[in-house]
Chains A and B, each alone.
Chain A
Amino acid sequence: MALNSRIPEGPLDQKWTKYKNSVKLVNPANKRSIEVIVVGTGLAGASAAASLAEMGYKVKALCFQDSPRRAHSIAAQGGINAAKNYMNDGDSTFRLFYDTIKGGDYRSREGNVHRLAEVSTNIIDQCVAQGVPFARDYGGLLDNRSFGGTQVSRTFYAKGQTGQQLLLGAYSAMSRQVGKGNITLLNRHEMLDIVIVDGKARGIIARNMVTGEIERHSAHAVALCTGGYGNVFFLSTNAMGSNVTAAWRAHRRGALFANPCFTQIHPTCIPVSGDHQSKLTLMSESLRNDGRIWVPKFKEDAEAIRAKKLRPVDLAEDRRDYYLERRYPAFGNLVPRDIASRAAKERCDEGFGVNSTGEAVYLDFSAAIVRYGKAEANVKGLHNASEAEIVAMGKKVVESKYGNLFQMYEQIVAENPYETPMMIYPAVHYTMGGLWVDYELMTTIPGCYACGEANFSDHGANRLGASALMQGLADGYFVLPYTIGNYLADEIRTGAISTNTPEFEEAEKNVRNQLESFFTTNGTKPVDYFHKKLGKIMWNMCGMARNKPGLEQAIADIRQLREDFYKNVKVPGSTKGMNPELEKAARVADFIELGELMCIDALDRNESCGGHFREEYQTEEGEALRDDEKYMYVAAWEFTGNPSEPKLNKEDLVYENIKVSARSYK
């Protein structure tokens, strides 16, 4: 298949402007008779649904949760980037663009990323107008903080709940349109197939999760805003319900899946405590603004700490190894996520881990508490403040910045992070890969779009912190509303689309057959048994470090697991009515197929880049070693009917505006 990314001609900073000036428009009267289905109501979906409805399209929005406000964007903590340069620290659209391309290890598209940087400032204006209560300083203006992989402060935030506030903003905009009747909201609905008529996306098949009914919904275009697929690892920071099913079913119908092996392992998560664990909890990257990461310098100290004979606060400063500050002096604790994660793994693999499993490092706030305490004392004119008073004041400042995160940590670990350093370890967090889209965010199925984490386009092989919120809202508020018109302008004569056609019939039957098949096996094992097994295979062999024999083994194991799953899975009840086990079974079936594709992709990419670290390809210092000559392309996989035999299509990446070089944060 020939891939055309349809990047507009012209200078980089003129592409989007030029595109907007020449794109086809749909007049307001015609918009009223055109329907769009938006699947998913996170930042990308809610903002797209609201904006399209404001423009006059008839929108149907689906979410599997009981309300759009529950979508997992709500859990994003640290912030959202925008090139406002309010801090006067040298930020600009170009710098945000450059940082994003470099942070992604030169595996994303220049045109898309520059557009993202351009609209980033509009997002902040839009959200403030909506009443999103961002953090402000004493002058009443917006405050910023720093995130990894940058040397400026461009991250806007609302304590450790930025995602919540942004999502509730988009949800409020969406609610306004639901109230007006411009959006039909379908809560507790799950998309299970896409319907293609004459080569175009014309609707979906969805299951009403309360009644169990299989429903047909038609539309002139379908936008998949369904998030990432991190739950393929079973344990991740994703919500329990986050899944790949909508994207995967579109893939099975012809949408290419790009760079599936590019997954982000986030360095600062609460470590795994036991086999019972159902999910992992992130501790925001913003904590690396003020927290210093360390392990003991000497193995005997690490052993003593693991045996609980030594407390970390009692370990002398010169017996600690602040390994990120040591290895990467220019960026220190704020190196990008992939680098921070690998560095933590390296120390723990060497035997310096600090919890009972040996898989944890410290994130320490004691220095920040003293620093903030001293500043507060100065502000208040308390020049003779005692050490205890300074610490008390410092704790207050830290609480105002990260209070909810510290509280979350204490709930889970039962330790007070104001008194003793946090223990953290990397965990699966985000997926840069996703459905292949062109500049207009259209997949290889005409009329089917993918926005936000569900697509692949902006983050390359590693996403920078606070850029997921930016991309989700950019796609939904400012990109799709323009680009979708270019397609829908040709649909004004189509009229209402009937669901009473052979294509809808076939898709519905396909869904029914799959769901019913789960009840015909005489299985004995619950869905979670298989999901956990899949997760272990993926984490061990397609996780933070990968190699050829491991990936080959993983592929063989997954094939066997798939066979075992269909023979031995046990789903109680029936297709009728509420049945969470049935929902899980359908999702895990897709995760198993995706897992295999991820390993195939990782095996095919004989280089290390960003989050994809192949042990065979590293520098002497253990840094990722790219092979630009052979692998500077997007791997876009085509479904051939057999999940084990995907077909590879390549989109070459062209860099005209920046010099491609080895990524250095030293």
Chain B
Amino acid sequence: MNLTLKIWRQKSTNDQGKIVEYKVTDISEDMSFLEMIDVLNYDLVEKGDDPVTFDHDCREGICGMCSMFINGEAHGPNRGVTTCQLHMRSFKDGETIYIEPWRSAGFPVIKDLMVDRGAFDRIQQAGGFISVNTSGRTLDANAIPVPKEDADKSFDAATCIGCGACVATCPNGSAMLFVSAKVSQYALLPQGQVERKERVLNMVKKMDEEGFGNCSNIGACEVQCPKGISLENIARMNREYLMASIKPEN
């Protein structure tokens, strides 16, 4: 297939940036979207031009590094997949494809399609953990049974890959889906109870400081999330936050 690509090019964080048009030819349907960009970049390097910078690593949909806004949708037209899992068979010969970076106040562009998601790390550092030091002498792993349903729900929340598609998709640039997934994972497990209140308060505080917007129940994040993280988590986080805010510590 032959395609026209309209790609956001931006030299650095403070550069203005603009859409630049490229043509790629002889693209196979079996290629992944990123392999199609590889072909473009190979040609650009051969010509002595600057190749398109983008984040990617595992290329199997789990590391959360790839992050392209394709034809106005985070990770492109398919549901439940990351950009690296999107294949060219989802496009038509002759099509024009717009490719942009995640856009959000919380994610400054570093170069071209690559953004800085350090804010997610900082939110995690504010409380996304259970305070247990390495010792290997905590309780035996089977000492506290966890009902299967809770364990499964906790797991579902924990499968968030931290790619930021939720933020990029949200008209408010909200990170609520990401933060609530982490809060839910721990809130659903007995191990997470001790720091339950502090955790949600600290993580939400950090999230606000980092410049992410609020949730107004649009639900686009859930639709575009490559891992199907449920809005239920946001509802749970709101409850957790409310409980933590109104109940005195003692």
Chain A residues proximal to chain B, CB less than 8 Å: 47, 50-51, 54, 65-72, 74-75, 84, 86, 119, 121-131, 133-142, 158-159, 161, 164-165, 168, 171-173, 175-176, 178-179, 185, 187, 210, 237, 239-241, 273-274, 276-279, 281-282, 407-408, 411-412, 414, 477-478, 481, 524-526, 528, 570-573, 577-578, 580-581
**Residues on B with beta carbons closer than 8 Å to the beta carbon of A525:** 46
Roughly how many angstroms separate A240 CA and B55 CA in the complex, as a whole number?
10
On whether the beta carbons of B63 and A65 are closer than 8 Å, the reply is yes
Q: Does B214 contact A (CB under 8 A)?
A: no
A54-B133, A412-B87, A414-B89 as given contacts; A526 in contact with B139, CB under 8 Å: no
Roughly how many angstroms separate A187 CA and B28 CA in the complex, as a whole number?
35
On whether the beta carbons of B151 and A526 are closer than 8 Å, the reply is no
**Residues on A with beta carbons closer than 8 Å to the beta carbon of B89:** 414
Contact flags (1/0) for B114-142 with A, using CB distance below 8 Å?
10111011001111111111111111111
On whether the beta carbons of B60 and A281 are closer than 8 Å, the reply is yes
Chain B residues proximal to chain A, CB less than 8 Å: 12, 28, 30-32, 34-35, 38-39, 41-42, 44-46, 48-51, 53, 55-65, 80-81, 85-87, 89, 110-111, 114, 116-118, 120-121, 124-142, 145-148, 151-152, 154-155, 158-159, 161-162, 185-186, 189, 191-192
On whether the beta carbons of A66 and B117 are closer than 8 Å, the reply is yes
Tell which of B50, B110, B136 touches A119, judged by Cβ atoms closer than 8 Å: B136
Roughly how many angstroms separate A407 CA and B80 CA in the complex, as a whole number?
9
Tell which of A65, A130, A277 touches B35, judged by Cβ atoms closer than 8 Å: A277
On whether the beta carbons of B136 and A581 are closer than 8 Å, the reply is no
**Residues on A with beta carbons closer than 8 Å to the beta carbon of B114:** 578
**Residues on A with beta carbons closer than 8 Å to the beta carbon of B129:** 130-131, 172-173, 175-176
CB closest residue in chain A, given B31: A276
Roughly how many angstroms separate A611 CA and B162 CA in the complex, as a whole number?
36
Roughly how many angstroms separate A316 CA and B155 CA in the complex, as a whole number?
40
Which of B50, B53, B62, B133 has the largest count of A CB atoms less than 10 A from its CB? B62
On whether the beta carbons of A136 and B148 are closer than 8 Å, the reply is yes
The 8 A-B pairs with the shortest beta carbon distances in the complex, nearest first, are A122-B136, A140-B145, A179-B125, A172-B129, A133-B155, A129-B138, A51-B134, A128-B141
**Residues on A with beta carbons closer than 8 Å to the beta carbon of B62:** 74-75, 161, 164
**Residues on A with beta carbons closer than 8 Å to the beta carbon of B53:** 578, 580
Roughly how many angstroms separate A127 CA and B118 CA in the complex, as a whole number?
25
On whether the beta carbons of B63 and A526 are closer than 8 Å, the reply is no
**Residues on A with beta carbons closer than 8 Å to the beta carbon of B152:** 133
**Residues on B with beta carbons closer than 8 Å to the beta carbon of A478:** 134, 136
A74-B63, A136-B148, A411-B81 as given contacts; A131 in contact with B121, CB under 8 Å: no
CB closest residue in chain A, given B67: A66
Tell which of B49, B124, B147 touches A172, judged by Cβ atoms closer than 8 Å: B124
On whether the beta carbons of B192 and A131 are closer than 8 Å, the reply is yes
CB closest residue in chain A, given B124: A175
Which of B49, B59, B131 has the largest count of A CB atoms less than 10 A from its CB? B59
**Residues on B with beta carbons closer than 8 Å to the beta carbon of A140:** 145-148, 151
On whether the beta carbons of B191 and A130 are closer than 8 Å, the reply is yes
On whether the beta carbons of B63 and A129 are closer than 8 Å, the reply is no
On whether the beta carbons of A75 and B58 are closer than 8 Å, the reply is yes
Tell which of A126, A185, A411, A414 touches B138, judged by Cβ atoms closer than 8 Å: A126
On whether the beta carbons of B134 and A47 are closer than 8 Å, the reply is yes
Roughly how many angstroms separate A433 CA and B25 CA in the complex, as a whole number?
41
On whether the beta carbons of B131 and A176 are closer than 8 Å, the reply is yes
On whether the beta carbons of A133 and B34 are closer than 8 Å, the reply is no
CB closest residue in chain B, given A242: B57
Shortest beta-carbon distance, B120 to chain A, in Å? Answer: 7
A133-B189, A580-B51 as given contacts; A408 in contact with B64, CB under 8 Å: no
Tell which of B46, B64, B142 touches A142, judged by Cβ atoms closer than 8 Å: B142
Roughly how many angstroms separate A165 CA and B227 CA in the complex, as a whole number?
14
Tell which of B44, B58, B142, B189 touches A74, judged by Cβ atoms closer than 8 Å: B58
On whether the beta carbons of B51 and A572 are closer than 8 Å, the reply is yes
A75-B62, A171-B124, A276-B35 as given contacts; A477 in contact with B136, CB under 8 Å: yes
A133-B189, A278-B32, A408-B61 as given contacts; A67 in contact with B145, CB under 8 Å: no
